[in-house]
Amino acid sequence: MITVEEARTLLFELVSALPAETVPLAEASGRILAQDVVATRDQPPFAASSMDGYAVKAAEVELHAMFKVVGEAVAGKRFDKPVGPGQAVRIFTGAPVPEGADFIVIQEDVDRRGDLITITDDPGTKTNIRPAGVDFTKGTIITAPRRLRPEDLALLAAMNIATVPVAQKPQIALISTGDELVMPGEAPGPDQIIASNTFGLKALLEEAGAHVRILPIAKDTTSSLEIAFGMAAGADLIVTIGGASVGDYDLVSDVSQALGMERSFYKIRMRPGKPLMAGRFGDAAMVGLPGNPVSAMVCGYLFLVPLVRRMLGLEHGLPAFRRAELGEPIGKNGPREHYMRAIVDENGIRACPDQDSSLLSVLAQANALLVREPNDPERHTGEEVLYLPI
């Protein structure tokens, strides 16, 4: 059996970065910028007032100084004559500072009578002018790859970039397998349960940037699985859930291989999630997840999310592990890497008491996977451990 890290390396060999597509800025949130983009203008494009007030010559600014107001500059419409000695231009936030002026006296520091203003309060030394290009200049580069956050979109808009090159979304087909499964909302028979991790995985993978299609549940028969694989056509990644062990009804491996799947590995030295399988399936990569709800989700965090990041062209895409101090001791680990459901807060990290891989209620309470190396000894309160936030 291979390690988690070895499995991830093999998985990465099954995919490559997808090509870029161009989308309107308004639809680019959360997408991965695929090529560097360059600002096409300066911001602000002119020296602009940062306050409502009066544009004057700095050299003339002092308490009790008087000026004659000769015009008005508003955002969107400049005052297009120079400001002379003893003159002021009424100016508003965002308006271009008129030629000849290099100081904005804020309106609160001024008394105005008709066309005359007098500085009545100490105007200080701050000019209240934003120089041209102080935010960014033409040619400023936003480098790819990066996930576009709301802040990035605002910046791109200010740069007058209306469409952006982003990585195509990986198309994922999700196949749940098992005679016992029905979809949420259906009426389960007495021996049936509801397909659950399917929905957790869809959310997880879409959050990572993929587009996920949930296919109809496949029965534990060759023909039903064949139909499901047929319906997955066009996907970049096919993910099956369940049927991956070696029971009489675990047909995913045999059926997929009969259809041409070239297996890269099967079984990993980890808990939960040992019966993980992966390979190349025509133009797609395929990952067969174990059916147990928690195992499937843990494999999602450890393998599928990094795989999606890879396909999106994000550099290495490895899970971002962190460190925390144990809030409570934990016993020694067995021979497999263990990803324990845990809760991390300001008092450190604690493993959840029941680590059974079928317990979604425990997974839903957890906010971390506490990582244990194979044969890790007993650990005491206060010792530092690695975890993956979930």
Binding site partner of 288, from Mg ion, ligand AMP, none, Cβ cut-off 5-8 A by kind? none
CB nearer to ligand AMP: pick between 171 and 198: 198
Binding site partner of 279, from ligand AMP, Mg ion, none, Cβ cut-off 5-8 A by kind? none
CB nearer to Mg ion: pick between 171 and 177: 177
Binding site partner of 85, from ligand AMP, Mg ion, none, Cβ cut-off 5-8 A by kind? none
User: How do strand 87-91 and strand 66-73 relate by DSSP bridges?
Assistant: parallel
Phi, psi of 69 (to 5 degrees): -80, 120
- Smallest gap from residue 306 Cβ to Mg ion (A): 25
Site for ligand AMP contains 292 (CB under 6 A) = yes
Whole-number Cα distances in Å, 343 to 13, 100, 298: 33, 63, 15
Question: Which range in 25-33, 192-200, 311-319, 345-353 contacts ligand AMP by CB under 6 A?
Answer: 192-200
Site for ligand AMP contains 290 (CB under 6 A) = yes
Whole-number Cα distances in Å, 314 to 81, 209, 285, 294, 357: 52, 11, 18, 26, 30
Phi, psi of 263 (to 5 degrees): -75, 135
Site for ligand AMP contains 127 (CB under 6 A) = no
With CB under 6 A as the contact rule, the residue among 128, 176, 253, 256 that binds ligand AMP is: 176
Binding site partner of 348, from Mg ion, ligand AMP, none, Cβ cut-off 5-8 A by kind? none
Site for ligand AMP contains 300 (CB under 6 A) = no
CB nearer to ligand AMP: pick between 53 and 279: 279
- Smallest gap from residue 356 Cβ to ligand AMP (A): 11
Site for ligand AMP contains 293 (CB under 6 A) = yes
Query: Does residue 289 contact residue 258 with C-beta atoms inside 8 Å?
Result: no
- Smallest gap from residue 2 Cβ to ligand AMP (A): 19
Binding site partner of 293, from ligand AMP, Mg ion, none, Cβ cut-off 5-8 A by kind? ligand AMP
Binding site partner of 317, from ligand AMP, Mg ion, none, Cβ cut-off 5-8 A by kind? none
Strand partners, 72: 90
Site for ligand AMP contains 272 (CB under 6 A) = no
- 375's tokens: 């044969």
Determine the size of the site formed for ligand AMP (CB under 6 A): 19
Contact residues for Mg ion (CB under 5 A)? Answer: 178, 242-243, 291
Look at the block and give the residue holding tokens 């592990």.
321
Binding site partner of 241, from ligand AMP, Mg ion, none, Cβ cut-off 5-8 A by kind? ligand AMP
Question: Which range in 145-153, 228-236, 289-297, 302-310 contacts ligand AMP by CB under 6 A?
Answer: 289-297
Binding site partner of 128, from ligand AMP, Mg ion, none, Cβ cut-off 5-8 A by kind? none
Q: Report the distance separating Cα 247 and Cα 249, nearest Å.
A: 5
Residue number with the shortest CB distance to ligand AMP? 291
Site for ligand AMP contains 180 (CB under 6 A) = yes
Query: Among residue numbers 200 through 219, which ones bind ligand AMP (CB under 6 A)?
Result: none
- Smallest gap from residue 177 Cβ to ligand AMP (A): 6
With CB under 6 A as the contact rule, the residue among 43, 49, 168, 198 that binds ligand AMP is: 198
Query: Among residue numbers 241 through 260, which ones bind ligand AMP (CB under 6 A)?
Result: 241-245, 247
CB nearer to ligand AMP: pick between 196 and 257: 196
Contact positions toward ligand AMP, by CB under 6 A? Answer: 176, 178, 180-181, 193, 195-198, 241-245, 247, 290-293
